[in-house]
Structure 1
Amino acid sequence: MPFVRASDGVLLHYTAVGAGRPIVLVHGWTMNGRFFDKNIAALAENHQVITIDSRGHGLSGKDLIHLTMPQVGRDVETVLAEIDVREGVLAGWSMGMATVYNYLAQYGTERLAGIVDIDMTPYLFAEDDWEHGVFGNLTPRSSLEVQAQMIADRETLGTTLIPAMFAAGSTQSPEDLAWWAEQSLMVPDLIAMSLWVSFSNQDWRPLLPEIDVPVLLAHGRKSQIYPTPVWEALERQIPQTHTHIFEDSGHSPFWEEPEEFNRAVLGFVDGL
């Protein structure tokens, strides 16, 4: 089970299987690399597939230090340097895409040939000139209310947030919902809170025009987390985009439509 130490000593867990152009999968808030289990085997047939558990998540260290998104971006570089990733594709789901933005801001695209944005906005708050906030209406005040609920009863908060990970109108099995909740609650409350505060306060819109590698926008048509067509705003700002809309998915197309997701990612990667 591979681990590498971050610059501050925190143990980072990662997996690496297969050979070929690296595809690095970065999970969302309070999740972990196991959420990509439906994708790894198919993607690894002709590529090296790497998953990273962000600090505080999954099997990575739960140390209560440096719980900021810039540090999480540095952690990605630590893993990529350990494996010596070159010409890789960095795929971020939800907060994982915020991790990608933090990585790009510090290290650029020297190691990268492409990026995959999995149902994420570059700015979490809805404003008069920006409709693409969380749930289409998140404000700083409502974000504080989410934080208060994290402190009061994070388990109950999960019963609201986890079903929202899937397509509007869909029904998930009790077993899947229980597994998602169990994995999410592995992240200590303070770590979840600290990273929420860190990434909710970032605005990556100014970075978009500077991205100099192709980006696959992999978004769910029925996303409850991002119910507005955020991919259209991204298409206008990022110089090189390919868009794949998953008609029967919400926030988690890699889980909800894994075969189509795998085909879309492979088609993008193999076309670079």
Structure 2
Amino acid sequence: MVTAGALDVGVELHGPEDGTPVILLHGFPDDVRTYDGVAPPLASAGFRVVVPYLRGYGPTRYRNPSTPRSGQQAALGADLLALMDALGIGRALLAGYDWGGRAACIVSALWPERVIGLVSATGYNIQDIARSAEPRDPEAELRYWYQWYLHTERGIAGLTANRAAFCRKLWELWSPTYPLTDAEYAVTAASFDNPDFVATVVQSYRHRHKAAPGDPALEDIETRLAAQPPITVPTVVLHGAEDGVDPPANSEGASRRFRGPYQRIVVPGAGHFLPREAPQPWIACLQELAAR
């Protein structure tokens, strides 16, 4: 456990302390187990690998009962920066997908001096909240059914009562070719029993659509993110070809958001839970960024 900012963070550490730091950040609904195929090989190659549970997941806890249970994007970025400070990490390679990719993109955009390089699944993950009311095509709206569901009291009750089944359905829809077993899923689903999981998740999906207030302490970060800042650090975007919620077409124009060295790779046969399904591209891209 690491005390960092608003949280006591559950963290798994791999590799030598004097190695190049790599921070691997999971998404929703997942946990650190998604990097089980990535972290050990990087550690064996000499990297200092840090794999934290995000706020609302697993053993991570809010330190103060009065802290808003917020999953807004500014909170994720602030958490990552605080964790780096707490561990004495000046600069690191950052890698993540979904919520974790958002945290990695935010720190890369706002504090580029802290980032060696970035691996971001599905592209530029900083939300454009000002434009969130603009409708998308019906196919995209259908893929986001879970977000609209969580805008209702019925949705909150459903996630509370059926969180394991609810999240498994998302796995099946988002990574339709992944041979998920009951045993593998059960290990990660235990992380959703965190007492703040539901509140943090609901606030995240409501805040991004301007349907819930943010944490006032994070307003300055949200203001900076509203400008959609470019990312200037060396970046590789990975995108699963079979992603059922964020298909590869969504990242085709992502290069305009990145001002530094940039590469985009579509990973065949993989869906949304990309590091779990295809660990090797993550390993190779992080090693390549470290060698620059």
Residues 238 and 159 of structure 1: is their aligned pair in 2 closer, same or farther, counting only changes over 3 Å?
same
1:153 to 153, 158, 168: 158
Q: Partners in 1 of 2:2 and 2:49 — Cα distance?
A: 16
Q: Partners in 2 of 1:141 and 1:260 — Cα distance?
A: 30
Normalised TM-score (structure 2): 0.76
Match of 2:20 in 1: 21
Question: What amino acid does structure 2 have at the position aligned with 1:265?
Answer: L
Match of 1:51 in 2: 51
Count of residue correspondences: 262
SS in 1 for 2:167: helix
Match of 1:80 in 2: 84
**Residue 109 in structure 1 maps to residue 112 in structure 2:** yes
Q: Partners in 2 of 1:262 and 1:139 — Cα distance?
A: 29
Q: Can you give the 5+ residue segments of structure 2 that lack an aligned partner in the other structure?
A: 211-221
- Show CA shifts across 1:127-149 (max 9, x none): 56x77x9x733699873323335
Q: Are 2:37 and 2:276, in contact at CA under 8 Å, matched by a contact in 1? A: yes
Residues 237 and 138 of structure 1: is their aligned pair in 2 closer, same or farther, counting only changes over 3 Å?
farther
SS in 2 for 1:207: coil
**Residue 255 in structure 1 maps to residue 276 in structure 2:** yes
Q: Partners in 2 of 1:169 and 1:41 — Cα distance?
A: 25
Residues 21 and 138 of structure 1: is their aligned pair in 2 closer, same or farther, counting only changes over 3 Å?
farther
Structure with the bigger RCO (C-alpha within 8 Å, sep 6+) is 2
Question: What amino acid does structure 1 have at the position aligned with 2:89?
Answer: V
- Measure how far apart 1:110 and its partner are: 1.4
Q: Are 2:108 and 2:114, in contact at CA under 8 Å, matched by a contact in 1? A: no
SS in 1 for 2:34: helix
Residues 222 and 178 of structure 1: is their aligned pair in 2 closer, same or farther, counting only changes over 3 Å?
same
- Measure how far apart 1:104 and its partner are: 4.4
SS in 2 for 1:115: strand
Q: Are 2:96 and 2:121, in contact at CA under 8 Å, matched by a contact in 1? A: yes
Identity %: 17
Q: Are 1:163 and 1:177, in contact at CA under 8 Å, matched by a contact in 2? A: no
Match of 1:197 in 2: 206
Match of 2:99 in 1: 95
- Measure how far apart 1:88 and its partner are: 1.3
Q: Partners in 1 of 2:278 and 2:103 — Cα distance?
A: 23
Q: Partners in 2 of 1:218 and 1:183 — Cα distance?
A: 25
RMSD between superposed Cα atoms in Å: 3.1
- Measure how far apart 1:90 and its partner are: 1.3
Residues 239 and 101 of structure 1: is their aligned pair in 2 closer, same or farther, counting only changes over 3 Å?
same
Q: Are 2:244 and 2:272, in contact at CA under 8 Å, matched by a contact in 1? A: yes
- Measure how far apart 1:250 and its partner are: 0.4
Q: Partners in 2 of 1:211 and 1:13 — Cα distance?
A: 28
Match of 2:74 in 1: 70
Q: Can you give the 5+ residue segments of structure 1 that lack an aligned partner in the other structure?
A: none
Q: Partners in 2 of 1:222 and 1:41 — Cα distance?
A: 26
Deviates more, 1:81-90 or 1:241-250: 81-90
Q: Are 1:162 and 1:181, in contact at CA under 8 Å, matched by a contact in 2? A: no
